[in-house]
Amino acid sequence: MSETAPISIRRGAAGEAPHTQTYAVPWREGMSVLDAVLWIRTHVDSSLAVRYSCTNANACKECVVSVDGETAYACTARLPLRGVTVAPLPNKPLLRDLVTDIVPPKERLAARQP
Amino acid sequence: MIEIETDVLVVGAGGAGMYAGVAAAREGARVLLADKSMVGRGGATIMAQMTVAAALGEQGPDDWTRHLADTLEAGRGLVDERLAALLCEGAVERIRELDEWKVGWARDADGRMRQVTAPGHGAPRCVYVDFLNTGPAVAQCLRRQSARTPGITKASGLSVTDLVTNDGVIAGAVGFRLEDGAAVAVAARAVVLATGGLTRLYRRNSASANMTGEGYALALRAGAELIDMEFPQFFPIGHLAPRLVGMDPIMWDPFRYKLGGRLLNAAGEEFVHRYGGEDEGRYVTTRDVISYAITKEVEAGRATEGGGVYLSFEHLGEGELREAFGPVVDRLAANGIDLTRRPIEVSPIAHYHMGGVRVDAEMSTGVPGLYAAGEAVGGASGANRLSGNAIPEALVFGETAGRHAARSAGKAGRSAWSQEAARPHLGRLAANGGRREASGGRRTAGAAGSRPVAGAALGELRAELADLMWEDVGVLRTGAGLASALDRIRALRLRLEVTPVPGEGPYPLARQDWFDLRGGLMAAESIALAALRRTESRGAHQREDYPDTDPGQARSQRVRLDPDGRLACEWMPPCPSPG
């Protein structure tokens, strides 16, 4: 039986009372916080929202979240066996779960027309 | 619902999409540049760590026709010469244009662009920005240029779920805005599909999140055809273990070029020679032989703990490593990897797709108003892509598609948009009546051994597809495995159809999963279907039951979607030559 690590994730959409959910994730040395979040999406709850693209390379810079209170990329932050708490960035507007609105204003599809 | 009207809609804003947007806007078109991720951040271009091929002749005599000859040689008889000629000739102009846009190509002391000889190239031809930084620099340069070009509206977080056609003519697209889940209708006179590849369909891949293959299904459903779908490219020595973060899993290639390195099985034995290669510390065996050798060693029960083989640089001193790869050695150390002390584990990994949307030399799909660009296009690489040709393909095909899409939009006059044609697609977006999905409640979910809850139905389905693609439609294929895979893919399609489309609300990633899977399953079925029919081994398509190349099958296959919803695959005449 493999070891598991606890990961607590703050969930909820803008305007809702946030709640924290804790998941036990199969742990492997060196795994990233994003690995754990994607494991949860695949095996436990696909509704968990997270913004990411490149997954491994730390090239897209989309997966920025708060890990134990520090701003970090989920793809390079490690998940220690003792676990972590992950939350959306506190200084950006919340969309849902771990996703905040980090899209530059000029790239937002508003009601405006091209 | 958000309603938008534009001349040219570009779906996908990686390298090809951004270039298409710039080229279309230069022709005077109003452009909507959409990406389900963020503009210029998703896609494959930003992840490219290696080099970019173009016959610039900066470091010795070269000519685009020699680049073409190397591309044809690599493609094992299946390259569409019209597309490859366009790529090789156009690459020169595009690389120089990026230079004017200050991408920062590396230069030598005399101010000439540095060009290196990558494998398969007969001349020093491949430019780069900085070790491991070429893709990010190209993406950043194109983000900047698309921001400077008047007429482009960027839409990050716009997920296109269906193209809309009216009487066989492109009319636009529908989708949803990720920010809040709102339905979006885009009336467009022309559409460029720059949706990238499909390698996410495989369990082991080097893909970004949006390489789910749904672009191929968008094309099929709009009436376009696909070509060469049986040829996803597997990179032989993708990183497997220990977990390496912050670096692309295909990063070991430059190490091997410079330093050799030894491939060893779990028992510490060299094995490549058993499969017709030689590997005594040098990197001379071709990629397909190495992929084959590793896969056979794993099958024979001689796999490492992670399920691959060892790549060892333990015979080298730290000085040698540091001289070759200075700062990268520190990034590896941050991952707990000391190459002088222990080997890493590697395995073949899905890396790129040679197949894709069938287009002519204007990147037109044949559906009036529908164009394709970049990795989404099939034919330019035949059965095997030459290294360094993926970024030129994005740049050249992107520019070509954008230019011709703008001209087509200019000729189209009124948009072919019809509310009636869009209605069935919009209906699916409202399938749950705007209801938000259950959040799963507060609980501590179990891990190993516990049963997945209903909330992970889509995740389980995706994982099942990735496993079966890897096992039976991967590096080594058999007729029995492919036939079984085809049955299982079709069963998964039925399972998805009865899985409700998750509701809207802010950032509905599960809804995105549903549409990605719908498209991905159709792309997967196309691969399996074409692979089952190709009873030979050629390039990236290796059949254990047909190990030889059959000259009679030096032809491409095309796939289309019949009106009854079935995929049809047929042989084409031998590849056309230019002129």
Q: Which of B245, B459, B507 sits opposite A76 (nearest CB)?
A: B245
Which of these, B134, B131, B132, lies nearest to B95 by C-alpha position? B134
> What CA–CA distance (Å, rounded) separates A105 from B499?
35
Asked if residue B72 belongs to a domain, the reply is no
**Encoded amino acid at B413, one letter:** G
> What CA–CA distance (Å, rounded) separates A105 from B157?
12
The answer to which of B52-66, B147-161, B439-453, B528-542 has the lowest mean pLDDT is B439-453
Q: How close is the nearest chain B Cα to the Cα of A46, in Å?
A: 5
Q: B270: domain range?
A: 237-347
* Per-residue pLDDT reduced to its tens digit, A11-21: 999 999 999 99
Torsion (CA) B565, B208, B149, B411 in degrees, nearest 10: -10
Say yes or no for a CB contact (<8 Å) between A42 and B460.
yes
* Per-residue pLDDT reduced to its tens digit, B437-468: 333 333 333 333 333 334 788 999 999 999 99
Asked if residue B442 belongs to a domain, the reply is no
Which pLDDT score, from 0 to 100, does residue B27 have?
98
Indicate the length of chain A as a whole number.
Answer: 114
Write down the domain spans for chain A.
4-107
- Chain A residues with CB-CB distance to B208 below 8 A: 53-55, 60
Asked if residue B294 belongs to a domain, the reply is yes
- Chain B residues with CB-CB distance to A40 below 8 A: 445
**Encoded amino acid at A3, one letter:** E
The answer to which of A80-84, B42-46, B199-203, B379-383 has the lowest mean pLDDT is B42-46
Which pLDDT score, from 0 to 100, does residue B441 have?
34
Q: Is A1 on the interface with B (CB under 8 A)?
A: yes
Beta bridge partners of B183: B176
Q: Which residues contact B392 (CB under 8 A, 6 or more apart)?
A: B52, B53, B54, B87, B88, B90, B91, B94, B95
> What CA–CA distance (Å, rounded) separates B12 from B34?
6
Please report, rounded to a whole number, the percentage of residues in chain B having pLDDT higher than 90.
77
Say yes or no for a CB contact (<8 Å) between B507 and A61.
no
What average pLDDT is seen over chain B? Answer: 91
Say if CB B420 and CB B85 are below 8 A apart.
no
- Chain A residues with CB-CB distance to B49 below 8 A: 57
CA atoms within 13 A on the CB side of B536: 13
Asked if residue B180 belongs to a domain, the reply is no
> What CA–CA distance (Å, rounded) separates B128 from B376?
23
Q: Which of A2, A42, A104 sits opposite B463 (nearest CB)?
A: A42
| E strands present in B169-296 | 169-177, 183-193, 226-227, 232-241, 262-264
* Per-residue pLDDT reduced to its tens digit, B73-105: 999 999 999 999 999 999 999 999 999 999 999
Q: Which residues contact B294 (CB under 8 A, 6 or more apart)?
A: B236, B237, B263, B308, B309, B346, B347, B348
To test the contact with chain A by mutation, choose from B8, B391, B439, B453 the residue with the greatest count of A C-beta atoms within 10 A, namely: B439
Say yes or no for a CB contact (<8 Å) between B447 and A25.
yes
Say if CB B353 and CB B200 are below 8 A apart.
no
B window 335-354, beta carbon within 8 A of A: 335-336
Beta bridge partners of B187: B5, B172
Q: Which of B156, B206, B508 sits opposite A103 (nearest CB)?
A: B156
Say yes or no for a CB contact (<8 Å) between A76 and B452.
no
Neighbours of B327 (CB within 10 A): 10
The position carrying tokens 């020093």 is B124
B window 213-252, beta carbon within 8 A of A: 242-249
Mean pLDDT in residue range A68-90: 97
- Chain A residues with CB-CB distance to B448 below 8 A: 1-2, 4, 26
CA atoms within 13 A on the CB side of A15: 4
Which pLDDT score, from 0 to 100, does residue A110 have?
74
- Chain A residues with CB-CB distance to B335 below 8 A: 30
> What CA–CA distance (Å, rounded) separates B25 from B409?
11
Distance of CA B39 to the CA centre of its chain: 17
Which of these, B443, B367, B440, lies nearest to B405 by C-alpha position? B367
Which pLDDT score, from 0 to 100, does residue B455 have?
79
Identify the closest residue of chain B to A111 by CA–CA distance: B2
> Alpha helix locations (H) across B200-286?
214-221, 252-259
Q: Is B488 on the interface with A (CB under 8 A)?
A: no
Q: How close is the nearest chain A Cα to the Cα of B43, in Å?
A: 8
Please report, rounded to a whole number, the percentage of residues in chain B having pLDDT higher than 70.
94
Q: Which residues contact B28 (CB under 8 A, 6 or more apart)?
A: B151, B406, B410
> What CA–CA distance (Å, rounded) separates B230 from B129?
33
Asked if residue B271 belongs to a domain, the reply is yes
Q: Is B544 on the interface with A (CB under 8 A)?
A: no
The answer to which of B230-234, B400-404, B413-417 has the lowest mean pLDDT is B413-417
Q: How confident is the model at residue B389 (pLDDT cuts 50, 70, 90)?
A: very high
Domain count, chain B: 1
> What CA–CA distance (Å, rounded) separates B204 from A89?
30
Which pLDDT score, from 0 to 100, does residue B260 have?
81
Q: Which residues contact B247 (CB under 8 A, 6 or more apart)?
A: A56, A57, A58, B132, B239, B331, B335
Q: Which residues of B524-543 are buried (b: 16+ CB within 10 A; e: fewer)?
A: bbbbbbbbbebebbbbbbbb
What's the angle, vertex CA B562, arms to CA B559 and CA B566, rounded to 5?
80
- Chain A residues with CB-CB distance to B510 below 8 A: 46-47
Q: Which residues contact B473 (CB under 8 A, 6 or more apart)?
A: B481, B482, B485, B524, B527, B528, B531
- Chain A residues with CB-CB distance to B2 below 8 A: 109, 111
Q: Which residues contact B507 (CB under 8 A, 6 or more apart)?
A: A49, A51, A95, A96, A97, A99, B178, B179, B181
Identify the closest residue of chain B to A39 by CA–CA distance: B459
Say yes or no for a CB contact (<8 Å) between B506 and A95.
yes
Which of these, B522, B532, B214, B557, lies nearest to B379 by C-alpha position? B557
* Per-residue pLDDT reduced to its tens digit, B241-271: 999 988 888 888 878 877 888 999 999 999 9
CA max distance for chain B: 69
* Per-residue pLDDT reduced to its tens digit, B187-221: 999 999 999 999 999 999 988 998 999 999 999 99
CATH of the domain at B342: 3.90.700.10
- Complex ipTM, two decimals? 0.96
Q: How close is the nearest chain B Cα to the Cα of A55, in Å?
A: 6
The answer to which of A110-114, B268-272, B547-551 has the lowest mean pLDDT is A110-114
Say if CB B144 and CB B22 are below 8 A apart.
no
Which pLDDT score, from 0 to 100, does residue B432 have?
47
The position carrying tokens 């997966």 is A63
Q: Is B507 on the interface with A (CB under 8 A)?
A: yes
> What CA–CA distance (Å, rounded) separates A47 from B439?
6
Q: Is B136 on the interface with A (CB under 8 A)?
A: yes
* Per-residue pLDDT reduced to its tens digit, B124-171: 999 999 867 899 999 999 999 999 999 999 999 999 999 999 999 999
Mean pLDDT in residue range B404-412: 95
Say yes or no for a CB contact (<8 Å) between B455 and A47.
yes
Q: Which of B245, B458, B510 sits opposite A56 (nearest CB)?
A: B245
**For B249, left (φ over 0), alpha (ψ -120 to 50), or beta?**
alpha
Judged against a pLDDT cut of 80, whether residue A56 lies above it is answered with yes
In this structure, what token pair is assigned to residue B125? 């031809």
| Residue pairs spanning A and B at CB distance below 8 A | 196
CA max distance for chain A: 56
Q: How close is the nearest chain B Cα to the Cα of A2, in Å?
A: 7
Q: Is A41 on the interface with B (CB under 8 A)?
A: yes
- Chain B residues with CB-CB distance to A45 below 8 A: 439-440, 445, 453, 455-456
Q: Which of A22, A31, A52 sits opposite B243 (nearest CB)?
A: A31
Q: Is B372 on the interface with A (CB under 8 A)?
A: no
Homologous superfamily of the A4-107 domain (CATH): Beta-grasp domain (3.10.20.30)
- Chain A residues with CB-CB distance to B462 below 8 A: 42
Which pLDDT score, from 0 to 100, does residue B344 have?
95
Q: Which residues of B183-193 are buried (b: 16+ CB within 10 A; e: fewer)?
A: bbbbbbbbbbb
* Per-residue pLDDT reduced to its tens digit, B501-521: 887 789 999 999 999 999 999
Q: Which residues contact B300 (CB under 8 A, 6 or more apart)?
A: none
**For A71, left (φ over 0), alpha (ψ -120 to 50), or beta?**
beta
Beta bridge partners of B158: B177
Which pLDDT score, from 0 to 100, does residue B437 have?
38
* Per-residue pLDDT reduced to its tens digit, B419-438: 999 999 998 887 543 333 33
Say yes or no for a CB contact (<8 Å) between B34 and A54.
no
Q: Which of B455, B462, B506 sits opposite A44 (nearest CB)?
A: B455
Mean pLDDT in residue range B215-236: 97
Neighbours of A111 (CB within 10 A): 7
Which pLDDT score, from 0 to 100, does residue B202 have?
98
Q: Which residues of B555-577 are buried (b: 16+ CB within 10 A; e: fewer)?
A: ebbbbbbeeeeebebeeeeebee
Which of these, B564, B416, B419, B435, lies nearest to B501 by C-alpha position? B435
